[in-house]
Amino acid sequence: MRNLKVKMAYNGAFYHGYQRQNNAVTIQQTVEEALSKLLMEEVTINGCSRTDAGVHAREYVFNFKTKNPISCEGLVIGTNNLLSDDIALLEVCEVSDDFHARFDCKGKEYEYVIHNSTLKNPFYANTAMRYKYHLDEKMLDEEAKAFIGRYDFKSFCSADCDKEDTTRTIFSFDVVREGDLVKMRVSGDGFLYNMVRIMVGTLICVNEGKIKKGTIKDIIEQKDRTKAGITVVPDGLYLNKVFY
């Protein structure tokens, strides 16, 4: 039995998140069906994490086991021929039998993309959040640094979060502008349900003056979701990198 590690990318706009569900089309279901058809055996994949409906991935990692002797290159080409253009396998390699994409993951990097313009751009529909008021990216970059460190991030997770331990370590958080795109890039050892979207929403509230500058550490310490900012839409969120 071979254990294969796979990197893929996807546009999640028209999927109900990563994880298989009974009543909606998901990334996991779509990829498992393509692999099963190609390999002529039932395939179950182990994903590195869950992503919500509408969230994208530039680098998502999963592993699965197969008896099929197909080459890694053949697996990429064959599966991609069966998938629609919004999902693509990027790379496949053989790994040790005990490798697991989720349990061996050491951290992740997410990027949130904001189209900061008064004008609509149809090419950013479903792939960026549109925000028509000016964003002060330099000020927000300074504010974002308050998230770095190991803290209880209970203030920054959805009420639907099922994790008892809400302590996580944030390695970096940068806000940069590229023309009319503002990109918020955050890496850490793990993230809670909606955590990145609430962090971004909190920074936007700081930009609007609804949350006072210099108070993000206070919000973390209060461990109260109502003190943090809005949960921004999923359209601009990308799983950017996975670390092993």
Please say whether the beta carbons of 155 and 224 come within 8 A.
Answer: yes
Q: Which helix (H) or strand (E) holds 47?
A: strand 46-47
Our answer to whether residue 189 is catalytic in this structure is no
State the Cα–Cα distance between residues 218 and 56, nearest whole angstrom: 31
Phi-psi region of 194 (alpha: psi -120 to 50; beta: other; left: phi over 0): left
Domain parsing of the chain, residue ranges: 2-95, 107-243
In single-letter form, the type of residue at position 76 comes to V
- Whether 12 and 57 have beta carbons less than 8 Å apart is answered as yes
Question: In this predicted structure, what is the pLDDT of residue 161?
Answer: 72
Domain 2-95 identical in fold to domain 107-243? yes
Alpha-helix runs per DSSP H in 155-215: 195-207
Q: Which of 52, 86, 104, 189 is catalytic?
A: 52
Q: What is the pLDDT of residue 164?
A: 81
Handedness of CA 85, 86, 92, 95 (dihedral sign): negative
Rounded to two decimals, what is the model's pTM? Answer: 0.95
The CATH class that applies to domain 2-95 reads alpha beta
Class for domain 107-243, per CATH? alpha beta
Per-residue tens of pLDDT for the chain, all 244 residues: 999 999 999 999 999 999 999 899 999 999 999 999 999 999 999 999 999 999 999 999 999 999 999 999 999 999 999 999 999 999 999 999 999 999 999 999 999 999 999 999 999 999 999 999 999 999 999 999 999 999 999 999 987 776 789 999 999 999 999 999 999 999 999 999 999 999 999 999 999 999 999 999 999 999 999 999 999 999 999 999 999 9
